């Protein structure tokens, strides 16, 4: 197989999971903006996600968020997804939108609140059993606002205890993916603020507990690709939440702020052996002012482009330059790959997959946008908390 053929073959195996909440209404902390044609039910979200997969060919799974995607029959929801040509992916928990969680959820000082939070996580595992989902994704808004508000070490003990109970409930083929966030909403301490904290808890839990890297959840100047390389080296990188940021956690379209960073991350993924089903690539974005389905299609394409460029890095030439200590040549090898226009290559890949070479244009011609605006009248649109 030629080098180019190998790159094409790899690109055809790529899978980018889209999040159900990205199809609903969202906004800033000041205002949620409504759009016409937004899904009203989890099934309608899956219908939209199926359109993204139909035009990109590499978005076969959809992440659910509980209780935003709560239904009476999750097995039936999984069948609906399969009927539309997609599958249900990670189950995302929600321990941040209940009044009981004002002082925390799994780390709260009140044992009744902790019990409520853990029971919700166990319910999410039940949903995984019903849907065939393999990943339980956890993000906690837990933290404190004032010095002395709570015992920092005790909160870590509570976190460890709660995670251990949920971990024991997982099936043999299921994983726990722990996400971290530098800050927000807590002002003073955040209970899972960085990859090191997440890694420490996952290491103690066992091999089926791994870390999620959200590309928007780091301090300015953080070298995310170093984190990726380290977690891969330790066998603890479970997946990504891809988005982009300009200052903290904007949840903008992936690649919007720094496409070069996305390329560098994808290079470390490929170099570290992480371009496998064992590392989940998921979008975690909220489309506030742009049309949702086109934005998700574009985001998937952005990940494809960064991946294609990373696959084109001349590893032999890079190794030679690095061993020789030739700083400029090593950098030039990376830049040559990054500066390659991979759009013609990706058009060829899509054509070979039986797809339209231009997903955005194909979606516009499909009439789906007009169809959902005309048909989704009445009812309550999905969105944050709905």
pLDDT at 286 over 80: yes
H helix intervals, the chain: 3-12, 42-56, 74-83, 111-131, 152-169, 195-205, 224-233, 259-271, 292-311, 315-324, 327-338, 343-352, 359-366, 368-375
Q: What is the pLDDT of residue 249?
A: 81
H or E segment at 263? Answer: helix 259-271
H or E segment at 330? Answer: helix 327-338
Q: What is the pLDDT of residue 385?
A: 58
**Domains in the chain, number:** 1
Mean pLDDT of 317-336: 98
Cα angle value 14/18/22 (rounded, 5°) = 155
Q: Is residue 385 part of a domain?
A: no
Q: Is residue 382 part of a domain?
A: no
Of residues 249 and 39, more confidence is placed in 39
Q: Is residue 217 part of a domain?
A: yes
Q: Is residue 308 part of a domain?
A: yes
Neighbours of 44 (CB within 10 A): 20
**pLDDT by residue (tens digit) across 110-127?**
999 999 999 999 999 999
% of the chain exceeding 90 in pLDDT? 94
Mean pLDDT of 296-313: 98
H helix intervals, 3-71: 3-12, 42-56
Report the alpha-carbon distance of residue 143 to residue 165 in Å, rounded: 21
Mean pLDDT of 87-97: 97
**pLDDT by residue (tens digit) across 127-146?**
999 999 999 999 999 999 99
Q: Is residue 383 part of a domain?
A: no
The reported pTM is 0.96
CATH number of the CATH domain containing 183? 3.20.20.150
By mean pLDDT, which of 181-185, 297-301, 308-312 is the weakest?
181-185
Residue 117 structural domain: 3-375
Q: Is 201 helix (H, G, I), strand (E, B) or coil?
A: helix
| Band of pLDDT at residue 260, cut at 50, 70 and 90 | very high
| Band of pLDDT at residue 326, cut at 50, 70 and 90 | very high
Report the alpha-carbon distance of residue 175 to residue 193 in Å, rounded: 21
Report the alpha-carbon distance of residue 175 to residue 12 in Å, rounded: 25
- Do residues 279 and 242 make contact, with C-beta atoms less than 8 angstroms apart? no
Q: What is the pLDDT of residue 28?
A: 83
**pLDDT by residue (tens digit) across 27-62?**
887 888 899 999 999 999 999 999 999 999 999 999
| Band of pLDDT at residue 386, cut at 50, 70 and 90 | very low
pLDDT at 1 over 70: no
Report the alpha-carbon distance of residue 352 to residue 373 in Å, rounded: 32
Cα angle value 293/296/299 (rounded, 5°) = 150
């Amino acid at each position: 197989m030629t080098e180019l053929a190998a790159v094409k073959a790899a690109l055809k195996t790529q899978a980018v999971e889209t999040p159900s909440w990205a199809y609903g209404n969202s906004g800033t902390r000041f205002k949620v903006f409504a759009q016409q044609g937004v899904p009203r039910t989890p099934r309608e979200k899956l219908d939209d996600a199926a359109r993204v997969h139909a035009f990109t060919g590499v978005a076969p799974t959809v992440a659910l968020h509980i209780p935003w995607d709560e239904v009476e029959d999750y097995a039936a929801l999984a069948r609906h997804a399969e009927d539309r040509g997609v599958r249900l992916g990670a189950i995302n928990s929600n321990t941040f939108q209940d009044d009981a969680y004002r002082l925390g959820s799994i780390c709260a000082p009140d044992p009744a609140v902790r019990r409520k939070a853990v029971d919700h996580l166990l319910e999410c595992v039940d949903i995984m059993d019903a849907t065939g989902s393999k990943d339980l994704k956890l993000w906690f808004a837990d933290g404190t606002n004032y010095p002395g508000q709570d015992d920092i070490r005790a909160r870590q003990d509570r976190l460890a205890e709660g995670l251990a109970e949920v971990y024991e409930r997982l099936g043999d083929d299921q994983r726990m993916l722990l996400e971290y966030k530098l800050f927000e909403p807590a002002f003073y301490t955040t209970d899972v603020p960085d990859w090191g904290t997440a890694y420490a808890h996952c290491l103690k839990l066992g091999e089926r507990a791994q870390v999620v890297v959200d590309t928007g959840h780091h301090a300015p100047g953080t070298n995310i690709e170093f984190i990726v390389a380290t977690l891969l080296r330790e066998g603890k990188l479970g997946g990504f939440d891809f988005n982009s940021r300009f200052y903290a956690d904007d949840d903008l379209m992936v690649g919007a702020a720094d496409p070069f960073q996305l390329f560098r991350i994808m290079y470390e993924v490929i170099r570290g052996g992480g371009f496998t089903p064992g590392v989940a690539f998921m979008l975690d974005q909220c489309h506030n002012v742009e049309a949702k389905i086109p934005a998700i299609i574009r985001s998937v394409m952005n990940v494809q482009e960064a991946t294609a460029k990373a696959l084109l890095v001349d590893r032999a030439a890079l190794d030679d330059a690095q061993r020789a200590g030739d700083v400029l040549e090593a950098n030039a090898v990376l830049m040559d790959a990054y500066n390659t226009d991979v759009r013609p290559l990706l058009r060829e890949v899509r054509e070979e997959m039986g797809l339209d070479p231009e997903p955005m244009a194909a979606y516009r011609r499909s009439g789906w946008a007009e169809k959902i605006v005309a048909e989704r009248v009445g009812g309550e649109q999905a969105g944050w908390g709905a």
